[in-house]
Amino acid sequence: MPVPCPLLYLRFAANTDVFLTVTLSPEKKLEVNPQPSQNKKPLNLLQKATSKQVSVRLKSDIEYRGKMSNVDPYMNVILVDAEESENGEKKANYGKVVIRGNNVLYIKIEDRL
């Protein structure tokens, strides 16, 4: 029976990310699976979460909750009916918030938890 090894991550010169799963079989041959399916990539997961409730935590410890109306490859996010909170304390409500991706610490999809 093949024994799975940890997921390998390789980065090539053109900033192309390649994910490989390596399996060692009893004959010590390497079997390599292609990249994970498209729906397991983080950006595709975020794009499918459009129009769902999300929490966006910024590097400055400010958190925004709202319905994600759009996201792009740079993780720039547009939230509708957003509320701002800091240290768990609600600070303000906004109709629409545009968050620049380089400020994002993480994005949590509320429906998935």
Q: Using one digit for the tens of pLDDT, what is the confidence trace for 61-87?
A: 999 999 999 999 888 999 999 999 998
* Domains held by the chain: number: 2
pLDDT at residue number 106 = 92
E strand intervals along the chain: 3-11, 17-24, 30-33, 53-58, 62-71, 77-86, 89-99, 104-109
* Pair (55, 105) in one structural domain: yes
Mean pLDDT within 90-111: 92
Residue 102 has pLDDT above 60, yes or no: yes
* Pair (63, 92) in one structural domain: yes
Residue 59 to residue 50: CA distance in whole angstroms? 22
* Pair (19, 72) in one structural domain: no
Print the domain residue range for 70: 50-112
* Pair (59, 97) in one structural domain: yes
Split at pLDDT 50, 70, 90, the class of 59 is very high
Mean pLDDT within 35-54: 78
* Pair (108, 54) in one structural domain: yes
